[in-house]
Every structure is written in C-alpha cells, then in structure tokens.
Amino acid sequence: MSAQAIYRRWRPQSFEDVIGQDHIVQTLRNALRGDRLAHAYLFTGPRGTGKTSVARILAKAVNCVAEAGVERPCNACGVCRSMTEGRALDLIEIDAASNTGVDDVRDLREKIGFSPNEARYKVYIIDEVHMLSSAAFNALLKTLEEPPPHAIFVLATTEPHKIPDTILSRCQRHDFRRVDLAAVTQKLARICAAEGAEADPEALELIARSGTGSIRDAESLLDQLAGAGLPISVEAVREALGTPADEAVADLVDALLAQDAAAGLALINAALDRGANPRQLQDRLLEHLRGLLLVQTGLDQDLLQLPEERLARLREQAALLPMPLLVQAIHRFNEARPGANRALPSLPLELALVETALAMGAAAAPVEPQTVAPAKSTPSVPTPANAPARPEPGDAAPAKRPAAQADPLDATPTGASKRGLEAPAGRDAAGDPADADSRAPAPPPAATQVPDLANLAARWPEVLRAVELRDRNLAALLKDSRPIASDAKGITLGFFYEFHCRRASQPEKMQLIAEAMAALVGGPVTLRCTVVSESKAEAERRPRSKRDQAAQDPVVKHALDKLGARIAGVQDPEPED
C-alpha cells in the first residue's frame, strides 16, 4: 500500500473520474472541443468537491498533445504525465493563503510574460484566492484583464463573496455542488474493493453522510478507519466520529413526544457516557427533526435517502408532532450549539430539550373543565318553575342546565329539542312512547338567542384548538382573526389580512369553523367573514381567556417562567356566603 493518503491516490486524473459535477465537466469538454477557452476561470464551492482536481485536469487538457480524436487529457503523453507527477514547469500552483501580499502578485506579473517551457499554455492555479489582500487583488486585476495569450488563470475559492467584483467580472465562473450521497458511497465502495479493505455497506453510507457532500472528508475518514487493518463496521465509524446510534436519537425524540424531560435528559447523558460527541449528537438530532419536517411536508421520498424501517418510524413520530411545535424544536436545538470551552458541554442540549418538552406539554394541556362539561352538576340559582326538576325516566342524557344558569354560548335555539335532554311530547311517566315519530330529532329552527360577544372572544382559543385537530393550516389562518359581531343573523369573524379572510371564506373552510363553534354555542351557527384593522389599543382591550388572565398573576407567572409549570385548568372561586 502506498504511503500517500487515499484522497491523494484517488484524486481524479480525467474528466471521467470527476463525480457530482457533470454540469461543469460538460461545459469544459465542449469548450475544449470547440477551442473556445477562457483566459480566466473561477471555481467556487464547498471544500472537497473537486475544484483543484478539475483545475489540474483542465491544465492537462489544454496542453495535451494526443492525436486528434483522442479524448483529452489522455494521461499518456509526456505533458500529461509530467503534470500528473507534479514536475511540469508550466503548471504553477499558488497558495493564496500563504502568499497574500502585493509583492507575491508582482512577482507573478514579472514572470508571466515568459513563454511556456514545453507546453502550449502556462496555467496558474491560485487556491483560496479570497485570502489575497486588497493591494494584491489590485495588482492582479490588470493581468487578468489583459493576460498574455499563453496564460490561463484558474482561481479556486470557498468564499466567492470576498472576491472584488472587478475580479469576478473578468472570470468565467463555475459553481461546484456538494456531491450526492449515493455517488460518494459508490466511490468509497470502489476504493475499498481496489484497496482490499472490507467494509459494511451501511458503514460506507455513514462515512459518506459524515462528509456532508465533501469527497475529500469522506475519503480521509475512510483512510483513518482502513489504517486499523480491521473490517470497517458501523460501530467503528460511530466510535471514530463520536456519533450516537440512530436508535438513541429516535428514542430521544420519543421522550420529547411523551413530554418526559427526565427520560430525555437520561438519554442525552447516556449517549455522552458511551463516547458520543455533543456536537455530533446535536447534528444527528437536528437531522432527525429535519426528517420529521420533510415527512410532514411530503418531501421525504425526494430528499431523504433512508432505509424503509427508519422512514416508517419517522412517519409515526411526524403524525404525533404538530408542525409549529416541530419548527420551534428545530430552532431551539439549532441554537444550542455546545461550545468547546464550556464546562458542561451537554447543558445547551439539556436546556433545549426541557424547553421543548415544556412547550409540548403546554400545547397539549387539557381544556378548562367548565368549557367541556355539558351541564353543571349543581345549579347556583333556583330552577324556573316551568323546567323539569330532574330528567325524565329512561333518559340517559345528563340533567338539563336551567335557563337562568345557562351560558350564552351553550344556549340552544328556542323551541329546539336541546339534544334530547327534554322529553318529547306524548311520553308518559314510565317512558313508553306515545308516538314513535316523536323520538326522531327534528332539525332545529333558526336561532333566536344571540351568543354573548365577550364570551365568544374569551372562548375563541377553544375554537382554534378544535379546528387545529382537523386542519392545522386553517387554524393558523384563524389565529389572525376574532369574533367582532353577534346578532340574530349569525356571527361575524374579523380578519386582519385580506388573504386570510379570502382563504377562510371557502365553503369547506366555513363549514369546518361552524362545526367547531357549534360544539360550544350548542347549536348550528351562521358565519360571515370580513377584513378589519386592529390597533394596539384594541388588541390590549380584547377580552382574554381565563387561562390568559391566570397567567398574568404574579405567582402563576413565576411558576410558569422559573419553575417550568403549566396551567392545566382554571376553576372559578367558590361564592362567598
């Protein structure tokens, strides 16, 4: 085995060897065939994607002396071999990171006028060109604008935004892309086969994934693992990278879905105790959360290259996590980058996990008891004389709430059957029906009782939660709306944006909103939508729910902010005697 590193031994020597950059290779090949060469090229893109390798191949191709009809470079003629072996005098490579001064560029300008020694062109490859100083760029400008006919420049950089526009305008730019995961994996497999190294396919895929599109990074890691002389397994790759197992990351997300902060903290520390790197753990967790986001948006088949069993688990978790909470979780974990100088490198991850679990718990908190009970068990005012003292025998429904006690939102239309709580006409005390048709529920007539607007606004969050269970997108539209009027003709919803109003006014959307409100109002409702403007003062005067009012109490606010508590429900105070 050669003493050279794998990435040097397997550096592409012809255009056929370049992977993942077909758009650039085809353009350069066409330029060579048509003899339409530019005098200056700019190669940009992430590290390890082949910029310098393609520059060397181009240098060989423009100077190749192979016979007509042979694909250049041929790598067989004397010029190609001398450039491949690094002894060609007409291929000048300059490291701009080490030669940043104006004197270095002036030296280049003095020598560029000399004719090539043996080749047709002198090719100057300036690597990391963005590191040149402003004075050096100014000195290079005139040479790039009017170079001698025997000179070709290839500028390579990972940060093109640092290059002056005057330089960019004089170059033919080619942007290199990150290499596809499958292409990198295939190249690693070819290297292992040629080098006699034994590697699991899953291990090679993990190596390729860790390179994040950089061939050189993946090949360097492969060289490190192959140097041990042992078969390359998934466990060996994870140990070298400090990467947690996929199962551990999925279990961590399960703990978040269960709002079990203790289990999540235990999983984080267990992964670190097994040798996982905090940054690698965070990267894998973000990758998993990104997978959930792609599944929810329907792009998992296009952008996720995962085994079917992992995709199945992602889909199960994505179905349990609302997208707004998922986006918040991604933001929290993305900002929790463990620092190298932190005494507790796991602390940012632990804080992000606890904050996310608390947010999920608050979102999943049960609704207030008084908003879900169909009737109050003990009336606080006398029952009207014309109301039945108790349910009729044989009626399985709970006792009817007296009219004087009823909430306006729960009021049913006058003359309606009240969901079967009142005995139909013709029914005797023993529950025997006098007429079978009297049992059939009749459609309620138009409502004559008008729901109270203040109560409507206070219980508007309940409508949003009910809508969100069936249509999250519609619930997002309704967050920028409010009930603004209530009369015998129905309820008017005011939207702050015309687009939201137009979308919510679609018949199927209106029906869904009406069904959600009917559960609270106690009967069918008619809705209208309009566009309104809301000032800051109006927003402050808007009635708040009991949960929001309770959250403003100093003691409750301290428990929420400092102790991680959440409001499970709000109970009205007992009336004083």
Per-residue tokens: 223: 């060289």
Per-residue tokens: 78: 């004397």
Q: How many angstroms separate the CA atoms of 350 and 265, rounded?
A: 6
Query: What is the per-residue pLDDT across 418-454, written as a single tens digit (0 to 9) for each?
Result: 333 333 444 444 444 444 444 444 444 444 456 677 7
pLDDT at 159: 92
User: Could you count the other beta carbons within 10 Å of the beta carbon of residue 21?
Assistant: 24
The amino acid that residue 292 corresponds to is: L
pLDDT at 394: 43
- The conformation of residue 388, written as its DSSP 8-state character, comes to -
Q: How many angstroms separate the CA atoms of 27 and 243, rounded?
A: 39
Q: How many angstroms separate the CA atoms of 564 and 465, rounded?
A: 22
pLDDT at 164: 92
Q: Please compute, for residue 485, the number of CA atoms within 13 A of its CA located in the half-sphere on the CB side.
A: 14
Per-residue tokens: 126: 């300036």
Q: How many angstroms separate the CA atoms of 561 and 568, rounded?
A: 15
Residues (pLDDT < 70) of the chain are 1-3, 301-302, 339-342, 364-451, 533-552, 554, 557-566, 568-577
Interior CA angle at 548 toward 453 and 363, to 5°?
A: 110
To 10 degrees, the CA torsion angle through 543, 548, 552, 558? -170
Per-residue tokens: 300: 């998992």
Cis bond before residue 73 (omega within 30° of 0)? yes
CB environment 410-447: b (16+ within 10 A), e (fewer): bbbbeebbbeebbbbeebeeeeeeeeeeeeeeeebeeb
Q: What's the N-to-C CA distance of the chain in angstroms?
A: 95
Strand duo 490-495 + 481-487: pairing: antiparallel
Q: How many angstroms separate the CA atoms of 7 and 1, rounded?
A: 14
Query: What is the per-residue pLDDT across 201-215, written as a single tens digit (0 to 9) for each?
Result: 989 988 998 888 899
Contact between 225 and 211 under an 8 Å Cβ cutoff? The reply is no
Distance of CA 304 to the CA centre of its chain: 13
Residue with tokens 């006792």: 399
Run of H or E including 472: helix 472-478
pLDDT at 367: 40
Q: Counting runs of H as helices and runs of E as strands, what totals does the chain give?
A: 27, 8
Contact between 494 and 532 under an 8 Å Cβ cutoff? The reply is yes
Contact between 418 and 412 under an 8 Å Cβ cutoff? The reply is yes
pLDDT at 63: 93
pLDDT at 402: 41
Contact between 566 and 362 under an 8 Å Cβ cutoff? The reply is yes
φ, ψ of residue 240 in degrees (nearest 5):
-70, -35
Q: How many angstroms separate the CA atoms of 199 and 224, rounded?
A: 13
CB burial class (10 A; 0-12, 13-18, 19+) of residue 515?
middle
Q: How many angstroms separate the CA atoms of 404 and 379, rounded?
A: 9
Distance of CA 5 to the CA centre of its chain: 36
- Spatial CB neighbours of 331, under 8 Å, sequence gap ≥ 6: none
pLDDT at 209: 86
Domains present along the chain, CATH in parentheses: 6-175 (3.40.50.300), 181-241 (1.10.8.60), 246-337+345-362 (1.20.272.10), 453-560 (3.30.300.180)
- Spatial CB neighbours of 428, under 8 Å, sequence gap ≥ 6: 434
DSSP 519-549: HHHTS---EEEEE----HHHHHHS---HHHH
